[in-house]
Amino acid sequence: MREIQSCDEILGCPRCDRSPLQPADDGLHCSGCQTRFPVFDGIPWLFAEPAAAVAEWRQRLGMVVAKREDDAKAIEKRLTGRDLGALTRSRLELLARSYRENARDLVELLEPVQVSGDTPYATQLALRTRMPAPQGIATYYANVHRDWGWGAEENAVSLDLVRTALGDEVAPGRVLTLGAGACRLAYDFHRTLGATSSIALDINPFLLLLTARLLRGETIRLHEFPIAPRRLADNAVLRELAAPHTPCDNFQLVLADALRPPFARESFDTVITPWLVDIVSEEFALLARRVNGLLRKGGRWVMFGSLSFAHQDAALRYSLEEVLELTQQAGFAMPQAQETTIPYMCSPASRHGRNEMVVSFATEKLKSVKRAQRHSALPDWIVERDQPVPLLPSFEMQAMSTRVYAMIMGMIDGRRSIRDMAAIMEQKRLMTRQDAEPAIRGFLIKMYDESQQGENS
Ligand SMILES: C[S@@+](CC[C@H](N)C(=O)[O-])C[C@H]1O[C@@H](n2cnc3c(N)ncnc32)[C@H](O)[C@@H]1O
């Protein structure tokens, strides 16, 4: 097992909150709830249900690899057509070859995780933990290229914003970055702003396993697939990813859920949340209390990113004013927010890139507040088998459209036209023929569009 650096005494159990964890064979052990946590390539996996987390990420990896292979196969099939011009043929050959190589590279990168283990799903349910559905292995794939392959500009701008927010009177001390992604900001911060030790935490093993190798001084060759390639050769760009300075001492990667942070209370002098607060499922007010619990009194929270909350409940899609007030209510000084427009994910190989007006602030923890309860990913009626499942408005809508969808799908037999199907719907007294025709056409357009969508749409 590779050594875990400099943070053993502050690592705590994400399941029962006991700290510190004890070193055990090939991992860490909680003497409170007797859970064993694996360590892969020097990265502790501190999920409340570690075996289920490993199994789930392995499954997600399998899906990404299968998708790459599938995409390659579809393109190879297309290449058998005689209608292709020479340039189109060379673009498709590049893509097919690159998808295949990328599938192999991903398997190799995630090799440390290829362990066997059952998925005790029932336990996971009981603990109300689970991997957030939108977080796939490849969700932030482009971030690794931005962080370690595209050059200095975007990374330097982010570091500068954080540095300005913090000012230079107070030393950052012991630093935790939550949702560190491919870790460039955490790394630059650690190296240049004088942190005594740093922990970079993320939920995505692909990002951290890759970073771990870069921090050991390896150069990794990995394809980028830009959203809007500028030139033919930009459809698949084999990049060389490398960290500018290695090794990086007192810098530890931790794989965990930021909503169940595996640390003893008040362990940090600085907590950074770059581009995180609006993408987690937890509402901002609770997350702010969680950050409070991680900081010692007088420590500082550096918030950085867009405030583009996407909660179902409109009341939780906070404005900047509400965010500032809630931060203060969570035991911090009233933040002085700065708004700055910066380039975001502008690949040199892509025509697509954004400008984002980001908010940044650093605020001091003035007092401790009531501890945020353990994060529950699932409601009672999913966990308990005997509770009635509520008929939520969105379920009702979905049930309705699923019925119509199933009915239309059932009528497609390769012979019937839209007019024939509308007649059947009228016979069954579901809709008038007049209403049914546009409704069926709408469904078919949606299905057709979905069948035509490519990788980056
Ligand atoms: C928008 S990206 C930002 C990445 C990085 N901070 C940056 O500035 O490039 C959000 C990151 O949060 C991570 N993330 C999402 N949900 C998380 C959770 N519950 N716990 C820890 N990390 C999470 C994602 O894996 C991703 O790396």
Rounded to whole angstroms, the Cα distance separating 276 from 135 reads: 12
Burial class (CB in 10 A: 0-12, 13-18, 19+), 315: exposed
Separation of 8 CA from ligand 1 center, angstroms? Answer: 23
Contacts 24+ apart (CB under 8 A), 89-98: 90/232, 91/232, 91/235, 94/232, 94/233, 94/235, 94/236, 95/71, 95/235, 95/236, 96/72, 97/72, 97/236, 98/223, 98/225, 98/235, 98/236, 98/238
- CA-to-CA distance for 345 and 224, rounded, in angstroms? 12
102 Cα to the center of ligand 1, angstroms: 22
Are 269 and 172 in contact, with CB atoms under 8 Å apart? yes
In the 8-state DSSP scheme, what is residue 77?
Answer: H
**Strands (DSSP E) found in 259-316:** 268-274, 295-305
Q: Is 206 in the pocket of ligand 1 (CB under 6 A)?
A: no
Q: Is the distance from the beta carbon of residue 49 to the nearest atom of ligand 1 less than 6 Å?
A: no
Q: How far is the CA of 136 from the centre of ligand 1 (A)?
A: 11
Residue 24 CA, ligand 1 centroid: distance in Å? 29
Q: How far apart are CA 134 and CA 139, in angstroms?
A: 8
Q: pLDDT tens digits for the chain (457 residues)?
A: 455 655 678 999 999 989 899 998 889 999 999 999 999 999 999 998 888 888 888 887 778 888 899 999 999 999 999 999 999 999 999 999 999 999 999 989 988 887 433 444 455 555 555 666 666 677 899 999 999 999 999 999 999 999 999 998 889 999 999 999 999 999 999 999 999 999 999 999 999 999 999 999 999 999 999 999 999 999 999 999 999 999 899 999 999 999 999 999 999 999 999 999 999 999 999 999 999 999 999 999 999 999 999 998 999 999 999 999 999 999 999 999 999 999 999 999 999 999 999 999 999 999 999 988 888 777 777 767 788 888 888 888 888 778 878 888 899 999 999 999 999 989 988 888 888 888 888 888 888 888 877 644 4
* Beta carbon of 306 within 6 Å of any ligand 1 atom: no
Does 159 sit in the ligand 1 pocket, CB within 6 Å? no
Q: Which residue in 312, 295, 304 sits closest to 277, CA to CA?
A: 304
In 3-state terms, what secondary structure has residue 395? helix
Ligand 1 pocket test target in 129, 131, 135, 139 with most atoms within 8 Å of CB:
135
Residue 306 Cα to ligand 1 midpoint, Å, equals: 13
Partner residues linked to 24 by β-bridges: 27
The residue whose CA has the least distance to atom 14 of ligand 1 is 179
Which residue puts its alpha carbon closest to atom 16 of ligand 1?
280
